[in-house]
Amino acid sequence: MTKPRQQRKCKVCNKNIAEWNKSGYCSHCNVKKKKIEEKKREELIKKYKELRQELEKEIHSATLNKFKILNEAFNVGREIYGKNYTVHNLCYDFEYPYTTCKRILSLRKANSKTWKLIKANKISSFKVAMILLQKNVTYQDELVDLVIKENLSTYDIKNLKDGSLKEVNDNRLDIAIQKGFCRQTVAFESFSRYFGRVNSMMVVDINDFPKTKLKKMKEILEETDKNIKEFKNKIEQNEKNK
Ligand SMILES: [Zn+2]
């Protein structure tokens, strides 16, 4: 004689549930559980964002504090050793990492307008330091405004560098800003750089590859081919809609 199987019950409310219900919750409790999980996730995301802001603030004030010390040290060093005294000398004497020092001291190039924006918390000192790390800061105000307006991250600023400088030097920054060039130019630049590489790859002798990988390569090419066709179609569609 077989024993009757035990009735499955909801883990929360103890209500009978179907044998096939693997979750262990009745539908009512399952919805509730999902809602609680969702809420918890939202709270975690909020916390995550808060921590990010906290770190940003910390980096901002740390940058300012270090600037105060390093800037004064650099001035004093110049007074002692004269014009040949460099950031390298400072880093050696103070046992401080060069790239960090260079970035922080780039704040020496900040003009009064930029300092006002830093003090008004419109932009962090860290971001300004990143911007002013560029050799050419003739268009400092425009670059700082652009970073504030577009809320560019430090990663964006790094990518912005070359592209923006070219635009800046061509005196086309205003037009470029209107076009929202920063992200778009970067996108196009990486697009053309990638395909430049792809095309030079296509002239490599097939015998330079391992024979065992040729099949895999063909698969990759087929997928790429498909994606390129789709992308080309999108461009053509876009031209038609003009
Ligand atoms: Zn239940």
Q: How many CA atoms are closer than 13 Å to the CA of 233, on its beta-carbon side?
A: 6
pLDDT-derived band at 20 (thresholds 50, 70, 90) equals confident
The least confident of 7-16, 133-142, 145-154 is: 133-142
CA of 4 to the centre of ligand 1 (A): 23
| Lookup: tokens for 67 | 């600037």
| Lookup: tokens for 25 | 């919750």
CA of 225 to the centre of ligand 1 (A): 52
CA of 38 to the centre of ligand 1 (A): 18
**Are the beta carbons of 104 and 79 closer than 8 angstroms?**
no
Which residues, listed in sequence order, are joined to residue 229 by a DSSP beta bridge?
none
| Lookup: tokens for 104 | 């922080």
CA of 41 to the centre of ligand 1 (A): 22
CA of 155 to the centre of ligand 1 (A): 48
CA of 11 to the centre of ligand 1 (A): 7
| Sequence-ordered alpha helix ranges (H) in 111-172 | 112-119, 125-132, 140-149, 154-169
Helix (H/G/I), strand (E/B), else coil: 81: helix
CA of 15 to the centre of ligand 1 (A): 6
What is this structure's pTM? 0.56
Does the pLDDT at position 90 exceed 60?
yes
CA of 36 to the centre of ligand 1 (A): 14
Q: What is the mean pLDDT of the chain?
A: 84
As residues whose CB is below 5 A from the ion ligand 1, the structure lists 10, 12-13, 15, 26, 29
Domain ranges of the chain: 39-109, 111-203
Query: Rounded to whole angstroms, how far apart are CA atoms 130 and 118?
Result: 13
Query: Rounded to whole angstroms, how far apart are CA atoms 17 and 20?
Result: 8
